[in-house]
Amino acid sequence: GAGVSQSPSNKVTEKGKDVELRCDPISGHTALYWYRQSLGQGLEFLIYFQGNSAPDKSGLPSDRFSAERTGGSVSTLTIQRTQQEDSAVYLCASSWGPQETQYFGPGTRLLVL
């Protein structure tokens, strides 16, 4: 079946602009996660959605970052007033539930000029 999909695959933006990254999880997966991967910081957790519960936002690095998940499916990660240090690959993953194997999407490569 279809895996996790993300769009866009690449995004180049100017410092100070807002960007939106989209994630379509595997159908039926109740848990959805956002991570980012950069050379300096490795793989970092950002935010986690589980069903209809309030999201775990403990990994968001600043209030410029926000995410929502509509209808328990598609999720959008928004970065406002982008900074150069936001340049990274943003990975989305989904799973049947917490503690289950997470399946990762192909990522969005973000470059802030």
Partner 1 sequence: ELKVEQNPLFLSMQEGKNYTIYCNYSTTSDRLYWYRQDPGKSLESLFVLLSNGAVKQEGRLMASLDTKARLSTLHITAAVHDLSATYFCAAPSNYGGSQGNLIFGKGTKLSVKP
- Are 1 and 100 a contacting pair, CB within 8 Å? no
Q: How far is the CB of 70 from partner 1 (least distance, A)?
A: 19
Q: How do beta strands 88-95 and 31-38 pair?
A: antiparallel
**Choices 15-23, 63-71, 75-83, 93-101; region in contact with partner 1 by CB under 8 A:** 93-101
Among 27, 42, 71, 84, binds partner 1 (CB under 8 A): 42
Contact yes or no for 47/63 (Cβ under 8 A): no
- Cα–chain-centroid distance for residue 110? 12
- 96 contributes a contact to partner 1 by CB under 8 A: no
The residue from 23, 29, 88, 105 that contacts partner 1 (CB under 8 A) is 105
In angstroms, the CA 64 to CA 71 distance is 23
Residues that bind partner 1 (CB under 8 A): 31, 33, 35, 42-43, 45, 48, 50, 56, 58-59, 91, 93, 95, 98-99, 101-107
